[in-house]
Chains A and B, each alone.
Chain A
Amino acid sequence: MDNELYSFALKSTLDEIRNLCPDIKNAFMFREDGEITAADESTPRKTIVKIVDSFDGLMEKAETMGGIELITVEGSKGGVNVSRMNNHYLVTVTSQNADKNYLNTITHTLVKTVLKLLEKINPAPLNNNPSEPETETEIRTIKKDEKPTERAEKLAAEDSEQPTKPETVRPEPTANQFMVENIGGLLVAADTVRIDNETLLQWQELYEDRKIEEVEIETFEGKSTRCKIKPVKDSKQEGKGVVQIPQKIQRTLEIRKGELVKVKPVVD
């Protein structure tokens, strides 16, 4: 079972909970490391990212009390409940007069059961594969098991309708989706982003005779910029599908940690 199915199962559970309890206005789940695993359709992804960001700091500070098990916020117009389930956090936003005990019983029972089932079916932990927002832009992604040369052949075959000489057929640079990660430190170049080695090697093989020194980053809001590219230093970030972007570029593109961006190599 792959991550998409995991996310689908959790999302369906959240949707069902919302159908069952109309007092729940929003529901979503994220992991301890900040990855969003499932969200209902009514909650904008940007809102979730902001919340995960604000909880990130709080969770760090809550280590003094043994981590966070539950957060309850009561406002004059409604409330929020954040509960830890295995290594996930379930966030539910409720209306003012909601029966909180009933809602908690329903959500906890259903979500915990689904999580247990998913773990039994496939004990491997959820990888970083957030549900991707739908876009009209066509994005071609390089599959892990697909060799870059095979891909180049495929792309060449796709373009075969146009009469071109075989030796001059080169695939156009295609965009991959990555999740934004912060990059910090004193010696960080403000104009350079970092991507895992695997992707860089794939690009290198794909465009054998061209040197890839720059990438174009494009947001789903249509903002884009060019910047230098280097491989990630932290081996933990390898294969996670993240792009480490300095704060300055994040501000330029109006993006934040956890958001998705399209990255394609600049092949001159």
Chain B
Amino acid sequence: MTKKKKETQMVGQVTEPIVLEATMSVNDLKAKLEELKNRDGVIGYILRNTTSASIDLKDPAKVIDFAVLSSSAIDASKELSNLFDLGNVNSTVVEGRNIKMLSLTIDENRISIFMEKNVDCEALRNTLCAKGPN
């Protein structure tokens, strides 16, 4: 019994600071994404990392479709990068007939923003990549 208690305490001590650090970064990104979501033409976003995922889309029925698309786009761009030696993938833009998606990876966070075709995704990318609060 005594041994078990000790183990629990040790685990708590190791994991706590890491979780705190990750949350800080994700919170910052989330705040930026929330701001972007309110812009004209932005449909929503997906934010994923190794510990959590946030999805905020105006049409909840498309959550799964968009999540799968986002993941496939990031995987495809990684494969392209490997095959053509493109280095680190900074961003991927996929344009459909009516909608486009901007995907990028910031640290461990994989972000996809969905928007109407007329939205300037370069501006969104600059806002997201800018350091500090907006």
Contact = CB atoms under 8 A, between A and B. Distances in A.
Contacts of A58: 69, 72-73, 76, 94
Interface residues on B, range: 20 to 34
A253 to B, nearest CB: 21
A196 to B, nearest CB: 31
B96 A75 contact: no
Contact of A78 (B65, B84, B99): B84
B129 interface: no
B72 A61 contact: yes
B88 A76 contact: yes
A57 B65 contact: no
Contacts of A66: 96-99
Interface in B51-79: 62, 65-66, 68-69, 72-73, 75-77, 79
A66 B66 CA distance: 12
Given A61-B72, A62-B69, A66-B99, A72 B83 contact: no
Interface in A7-43: 25-26
Contacts of B83: 47, 50-51
A68 to B, nearest CB: 6
Chain A interface, >50% SS class:
mixed
Contacts of B25: none
Contact of A67 (B68, B76, B89, B97): B97
A73 B96 contact: no
A71 interface: yes
B29 interface: no
A65 B93 contact: no
B73 to A, nearest CB: 6
A47 B85 CA distance: 12
B31 interface: no
15 contacts: A25-B84, A50-B83, A54-B80, A55-B76, A57-B72, A58-B69, A64-B69, A65-B99, A66-B97, A66-B99, A68-B94, A69-B95, A69-B97, A70-B93, A75-B88
Interface of A: 25-26, 47, 50-51, 54-55, 57-58, 61-62, 64-80, 93
Given A73-B86, A78-B85, 15 more contacts: A51-B80, A55-B76, A58-B73, A58-B76, A58-B94, A61-B69, A64-B65, A65-B101, A68-B94, A71-B92, A71-B93, A75-B88, A77-B86, A78-B86, A80-B84
